[in-house]
């Protein structure tokens, strides 16, 4: 479970991928809710991306997902360093 109390991270939720079948990706949140992951056109056409998603699903890893647009985050759990 994501325990960071920084308000900037409230837009991120942890999910496990439960279905990876082109062109559909379904994820399950920590609360048990199922969401359809929104993918870009580049992601839809990238075979390496799909292989990676299948490996993530098989390994049952938790990955970050934006709450509002249901997009996978490319920067993982990292927040930009404060200046």
User: Could you report the average pLDDT of every consecutive run of 10 residues in the chain (83 residues)?
Assistant: 56 93 96 96 95 96 90 70 60
Structure tokens at 23: 């062109």
25 has which bridge partners?
20
Give pTM, 2 decimals: 0.79
State the pLDDT at residue 6.
Answer: 58
State the pLDDT at residue 2.
Answer: 46
State the pLDDT at residue 68.
Answer: 84
- Given the structure tokens 């837009």, which residue do they identify? 11
Three-state SS at 9: helix
State the pLDDT at residue 50.
Answer: 96
């Amino acid at each position: 479970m994501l325990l960071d109390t920084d308000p900037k991270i409230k837009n991120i939720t942890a999910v496990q991928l439960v279905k990876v079948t082109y062109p559909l990706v379904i994820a399950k949140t920590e609360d048990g809710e199922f969401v359809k992951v929104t993918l870009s056109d580049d992601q839809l056409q990238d075979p390496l991306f799909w292989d990676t998603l299948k490996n993530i699903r098989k390994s049952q890893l938790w990955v970050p997902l934006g709450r509002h647009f249901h997009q996978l985050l490319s920067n993982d759990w990292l927040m930009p360093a404060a200046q």
